[in-house]
Structure 1
Amino acid sequence: MSDPGAVRTVLADLRAEGDELDLIVGGLSDERWALATPAAGWTVAHQIAHLAWTDRAALLAVTDPGAFAAEVEKALAAPERFVGDGAEEGAALPPAELLARWRDGRELLREALLAVPPGDRFPWYGPPMSAPAMATARLMETWAHGQDVADALGVVRTPTARLRHVAWIGHRARDYAHLVRGEQPPAEPVRVELVAPSGATWTFGPEEAGQRVTGTALDFCLLVTQRVHRDDTALRAEGDGAEHWLRIAQAFAGPAGAGRAPKGGAR
């Protein structure tokens, strides 16, 4: 994603993803902001607060790396709490204030990412990020937390071509998923072949790879964002390495997630 125009393309999709979620939460009553989501202990307000908090962290990383380094030190001092603490702080705000904070923050981040010179990288909680990669990561998180919100509210979302960004970062984060668990990443690559919402095929990784994953883009994206248990997908793995990866996959930076409990298996 080194094309100078890549960031504009991803940011356009990020804006669309944010706008779609905004339509879901923008008119909610205060009571519905307090509904529990599938993430244990998190309400709808916690989900939006987390997005707003992470957007602010990303903005700091882009505009003031030194100040962001201080935030990383706080995260390292309390790795199991810092994400939840940020969500708790935002969720305590009146819903209208939280919504305004999220809207303002995502627009400020969009403008900051547009201004990053092509090829430049800035720090993050995981590996350093380029502007297109950060925009992709924010889209992935917006979609994933939006899924929790939709599930809490009983909203069925229509999968879109924007899932390609989520699938891309999910595949790219394969080594990270191993490293964050103290495992040596496999040397053998993995091929991922997904059926897109349009019916087209999206592919990632070398065609000749012996380790393979096939299935729908929606299943893969739900899995790598840990919104579904491996056993509740119809994804197919060829090779022990591919299967193990699907058991630990995570597209997000930070500590290894606990994932979701199985509901009853699609396999």
Structure 2
Amino acid sequence: MSDPAVVLDDLREESEELDLLVRKLSDEQWSAPTPAPGWTVAHQIAHLAWTDRAALLAATDPEAFAAETAKALAAPDRFVDDGAEEGAKLPPAELLAAWRAGRERLQDALRAVPPGARFPWYGPPMSAPAMATARLMETWAHGQDVADALGVVRTPTARLRHVAWIGVRARDYAFLVRGIPAPAEPFRVELDGIDGIDGIDGIDGTGGEVWAYGPEDATQTVTGPALDFCLLVTQRVHRDDTALVAHGPDAERWLAIAQAFAGPAGTGRAPREEV
């Protein structure tokens, strides 16, 4: 993921796809509950706008971002919800305009970051490509909540390669944020990908058939559909509701706690009720 232009272009496309989903919603639909407890469609978009603002500060004004981080540390269980709640109070047109303007400012800022530069974040420090990947991951994940609230079934795209990549890269973080030592050995992850991708960093994109990460001779593995993996690492689905297969105790444990996002350990989603 060394070329920020590639992932920034994909981030813009992912944002536009979600924008198309919400731009003509009624006030009632903006207030529709989503699978995230207590969050409406408006909360989801407000959270994206809030995080874009935080990312912009991190990339352009580290001292101001440090002040925001201090606020987060003072209320670690509330600062995300509080940010979403504040934005959700805006009229839908104003919220939508703020999200659009903020994500474009972030695009400009990340494209201007010098190659190799890193800046602070709520988890490990970020490069511009990594930040763009994280923003795409969050945009897709919160977009999934919006789609579920509206009863819309989205078609997976090759942009999920970014979500899968960051999900794999965040393996150790998922353990450490829960106070669990990360496994010493790497895993092999092989996912049934989405058609139309080009092979990049650690991904075999031949025909979009397999996205592979980690050494081929790893003793612990994870295999299955890329969509299921992306839903799991963004905690939009319960482990039991995926077709993912883990071989090895550490790999199985990872799938129970995986998270691609920074911040406190997520609670995940409950398993679907059997019909």
* TM-score in terms of structure 2 length: 0.94
Q: 8 Å contact 1:33–1:45 — kept in the other structure?
A: yes
Deviations 1:175-231 (A, max 9, x none): 000010001111011111000122510001111111100000000000000000000
Q: 8 Å contact 1:61–1:68 — kept in the other structure?
A: yes
The DSSP-based 3-state class of the residue aligned with 1:237 is: strand
1:130 correspondence with 2:127: yes
Letter of the 2:272 counterpart: K
Deviations 1:88-120 (A, max 9, x none): 000000000000000000000000000000000
Aligned to 2:268: 259
Structure 1: give runs of 5+ residues left out of the alignment. Answer: none
1:25 correspondence with 2:34: no
1:46 correspondence with 2:55: no
How far, CA to CA, are the matches of 2:43 and 2:187 in structure 1?
A: 35
1:192 correspondence with 2:201: no
Q: Aligned runs of 1:136-215 on 2, under 5 Å?
A: 136-198=133-195, 199-215=208-224
Following TM superposition, the consecutive aligned residue runs of length 4 or more in structure 1 with deviations greater than 2 angstroms are: none
Structure 2: give runs of 5+ residues left out of the alignment. Answer: 196-207
Change (3 A) 1:190 1:264: farther
What is the aligned counterpart of 2:98 among 76, 98, 101? Answer: 101
How far, CA to CA, are the matches of 1:40 and 1:70 in structure 2?
A: 28
Letter of the 1:228 counterpart: V
How far, CA to CA, are the matches of 1:233 and 1:61 in structure 2?
A: 35
How far, CA to CA, are the matches of 2:252 and 2:264 in structure 1?
A: 21
The DSSP-based 3-state class of the residue aligned with 1:203 is: strand
Aligned to 1:85: 82
Q: 8 Å contact 1:231–1:264 — kept in the other structure?
A: no
What is the aligned counterpart of 1:10 among 7, 12, 15? Answer: 7
* TM-score in terms of structure 1 length: 0.97
Letter of the 2:182 counterpart: P
What's the RMSD between the two structures over aligned residues? 0.8
1:222 correspondence with 2:231: yes
Aligned residues: percent identity? 77
1:111 correspondence with 2:108: yes
How far, CA to CA, are the matches of 1:252 and 1:82 in structure 2?
A: 15
Letter of the 2:59 counterpart: V
How far, CA to CA, are the matches of 2:128 and 2:41 in structure 1?
A: 28
Aligned length: 262
Q: Cα offset for 1:264?
A: 4.3
Q: 8 Å contact 1:232–1:264 — kept in the other structure?
A: no
Letter of the 1:192 counterpart: V
Deviations 1:229-260 (A, max 9, x none): 00000100000010000000000000000000
Aligned to 1:37: 34
1:71 correspondence with 2:80: no
How far, CA to CA, are the matches of 2:219 and 2:117 in structure 1?
A: 34
